[in-house]
Structure 1
Amino acid sequence: MKLRSDLVLRTIGSDHLIVDPSQDSIDLSTVYTLNSSAAWLWEQLKGKEFDQTTIVELLCDNYEVDVEQAQSDAKVLLGDFEKQGLLEK
């Protein structure tokens, strides 16, 4: 799977927002906020093919988290990305 290539991650202050730059006007119903860990993962995954294992490895390599917690977090993150339509079909 891949992240949608038409979406852009913007950081404003301490907020990380995913926006669709093709919108003529800002529609707040299609702006998504990410915490700093999810924003970091977005940057690592942008433009690449990945799966849940990729996310688990990134989390374990860069954060003090055990594999079980990383698997749980990766599953939730991918579910949220899919539900919000942030992945390419």
Structure 2
Amino acid sequence: MKLRKELKLRKIGKDYIIVEPGQDKVDLSKVYTLNETAAWLWEELHPQEFSKEDMVKKLVEEYDVTEEQANKDIQKLLDIFVAQKLLDENY
């Protein structure tokens, strides 16, 4: 799978947001917020191809979390990415 390449991660204050840039301006009706961990993972994965296993491995390596917990957390994050259409549909 792959994250949509046109999406941009921005940090505003303490918040991390994903925006869909328009042709002339940012469409603020399509803004998605991420926590610090999800934002870190987004930066690690964007724009290359990856698998759920790649995501779990990165989370386990970077944070003090078991593989079982990382797997659960990644599944929740992927569910959000799918629901919000943040993944490239060509993958």
TM-score range, shorter chain: over 0.9
Structure 2 stretches lacking a partner, 5+ long: none
* 1:7 equivalenced with 2:7 (yes/no): yes
Q: In the alignment, what sits opposite 1:70? A: 70
Alignment TM-score, normalising by the size of structure 1: 0.93
Q: Deviation of residue 32 (structure 1)? A: 0.4
Pairing 1:1-89 to 2, within 5 Å after superposition: 1-22=1-22, 24=24, 27-89=27-89
Higher strand share: 2
Q: Deviation of residue 51 (structure 1)? A: 1.2
Q: What is the identity percentage for the equivalent residue pairs of Structure 1 and Structure 2?
A: 52
SS in 2 for 1:20: strand
Alignment TM-score, normalising by the size of structure 2: 0.91
Q: Matched residues in 1 for 2:26 and 2:9: separation?
A: 15
Q: Matched residues in 1 for 2:23 and 2:77: separation?
A: 25
The one-letter code sitting in structure 2 at the alignment partner of 1:35 is: N
Moved over 2 A (4+): 23-29
Structure 1 stretches lacking a partner, 5+ long: none
